[in-house]
Amino acid sequence: MDPALAYLDAAEAILKRIREHEMEHIERAAEICAHTIANDGLVHMFATGHSRMMIEEMYPRHGSFPGFHPIVELSLTYHNQVVGANGQRQAMFLEHVEGFAPVILRNFVLQPPDSFLIFSNSGVNEVVVEMALEAKKRDLSVIAVISKDHSRLQAPKHSSGKKLIDLADVTIDNCTPAGDAMVRVEGLDDPVGPGSTIGGAAVTNALKCAIAQRLVALGKPPLVLTSSVFAGAEKSQQGFEDSYDDYQRRLKRVYGG
């Protein structure tokens, strides 16, 4: 089969598995997040490596709304340089350093009704596990988005012996096969074409839509960032300003304001 078509087939299989097996978990996670946002809290989001893309997918972008707070460390996620200063080697080293998560969270005031959403394909690296442990210490509900197939094949790396799946109140499977890369090319030893971005983005946006529905039902419709295609230029621009203002208001407590 043509490798490009093989990738599209594998991507379709991921979406099919999410539809068939993960909707209950997405709905449970949506309940947690909607409760947080409806009560003026924030869903804090953390990821390392390429998983940080899911955080940017959640907010801010068209069709999204405030209530989500990215906690993104450039030292763990900035891949543009690859080598040299801020290179990939440093990022991959730091995600295994225990004690880093408490240092990061020392900058914020986190408390209920806040909740925590962590993206990690493997769900075993030290900093993401430690971030979940720290969130639980603060009585925050933890939602994990991982590849269950990948996580099952990985031994725990954190000294607690825990994986992210062991700590989360709700775990959503991004339904990506273990190893992430999904396509074999004749003459090439290693597979290509990672699938976790497909699965992670699908879960993120399905969750976002489910949360919006619940907020409307609670009488607190979210302030959506809407394209001028739908609302016209003036109304769209005002919607952006209102959404950003709401987000800024929510952040004041988190930053000690």
**Per-residue pLDDT reduced to its tens digit, 166-222:** 999 999 999 999 999 999 999 999 999 999 999 999 999 999 999 999 999 999 999
Six token digits for residue 48: 């390392």
215/50 Cα distance (integer angstroms): 29
129/183 Cα distance (integer angstroms): 29
163/129 Cα distance (integer angstroms): 6
Superfamily of domain 3-254: Glucose-6-phosphate isomerase like protein; domain 1 (3.40.50.10490)
Identify each DSSP E strand in the chain by its residue range. Answer: 43-47, 68-71, 115-119, 141-146, 170-173, 181-183, 192-194
At 77 the pLDDT is: 82
As a whole number, the mean pLDDT across the chain is: 95
Q: Domains of the chain: which residue ranges? A: 3-254
Q: Which residue in 101, 124, 122 sits closest to 46, CA to CA?
A: 101
Instruction: Note if the pTM is more than 0.85.
Output: yes
